[in-house]
Chain A
Amino acid sequence: GQNIDQPTEMTATEGAIVQINCTYQTSGFNGLFWYQQHAGEAPTFLSYNVLDGLEEKGRFSSFLSRSKGYSYLLLKELQMKDSASYLCAVRGPGNQFYFGTGTSLTVIP
């Protein structure tokens, strides 16, 4: 079966750094994706990892360890607009994406 776990909620302070973890167990692996979803809007793509290591993209970085079935999304210099739900997703065989239930991040002043 497919299982993707991430924390339900997190709170962090504006200007700080926050790390959102994701663990997964899936049959087949063709990459791990992070999406951001603001309330009432569609998910938007943030990052993609298919090999182990860190991918950096501006204020956002994502890390993957395939042997551990583990990823994290790192958000630096948090801004109020970063308050959103962050979805971890694994791409399985074909184009099937398996999503976690999302981590609701609240950034406070």
Chain B
Amino acid sequence: KAGVTQTPRYLIKTRGQQVTLSCSPISGHRSVSWYQQTPGQGLQFLFEYFSETQRNKGNFPGRFSGRQFSNSRSEMNVSTLELGDSALYLCASIGSNTEAFFGQGTRLTVV
């Protein structure tokens, strides 16, 4: 069974640009959650998608958005990048009554 795939692994962007990250969950998992991880802040919940609908949302500004497609693949988008958006972005794939399985993450650096 293939794991969670996130692309790209590394990304460097400049302030003001926008970025799109992709996550393919484990086959059969309909729930995808996104997290931002920074030193000292731990894993901060961004949002969760289930069957193409955003079901939960964390406390992030509207510059952070996402979507989920019919095949459960999900994308998250960050517009008007700021230096503070530099972080590891993790995607978690969740089945029914299971733990969250994480992808390797996308390391975003904003310069």
Q: Residues of A at under 8 Å CB distance from B?
A: 33, 35, 41-45, 48, 87, 89, 94-102
Q: Known contacts A42-B104, A94-B55: does B35 contact A99 (CB below 8 Å)?
A: yes
Whether B50 contacts A95 by the Cβ 8 Å rule is: yes
Further pairs besides A45-B100, A95-B55: 8, Cβ < 8 Å: A42-B4, A42-B105, A43-B90, A89-B100, A94-B56, A96-B33, A96-B45, A102-B43
Whether B31 contacts A95 by the Cβ 8 Å rule is: yes
Whether B94 contacts A95 by the Cβ 8 Å rule is: yes
Whether A97 contacts B100 by the Cβ 8 Å rule is: yes
Query: Separation in Å of the B54 CB from the closest CB of chain A?
Result: 11
DSSP class of B's interface residues: helix, strand, loop or mixed?
A: strand
Whether A102 contacts B45 by the Cβ 8 Å rule is: no
Q: Known contacts A97-B92, A99-B42, A99-B43: does B48 contact A44 (CB below 8 Å)?
A: no
Whether B43 contacts A87 by the Cβ 8 Å rule is: yes
- A109 and B35 CA atoms in complex are apart in Å by 34
Query: Separation in Å of the B19 CB from the closest CB of chain A?
Result: 19
Query: Separation in Å of the B86 CB from the closest CB of chain A?
Result: 15
Interface residues of B, CB < 8 Å — how many?
23
Most buried by A among B41, B94, B99, B103: B99
Does B64 make an interface contact (CB < 8 A)? no
Identify the closest chain A residue to B99 (Cβ).
Answer: A45
Identify the closest chain B residue to A97 (Cβ).
Answer: B100
State which of A43, A89, A96 has its C-beta within 8 Å of the C-beta of B56.
Answer: A96
Q: Known contacts A94-B55, A95-B50: does B102 contact A100 (CB below 8 Å)?
A: no
- A95 and B51 CA atoms in complex are apart in Å by 13
Query: Separation in Å of the B100 CB from the closest CB of chain A?
Result: 5
Interface string of B31-49 (1 = CB under 8 A from A): 1010100001111010010
Query: Separation in Å of the A94 CB from the closest CB of chain B?
Result: 6
Inside 8 A of A89's CB, which chain B residues have their CB? 43, 100
Inside 8 A of A101's CB, which chain B residues have their CB? 40-42
Identify the closest chain B residue to A50 (Cβ).
Answer: B97
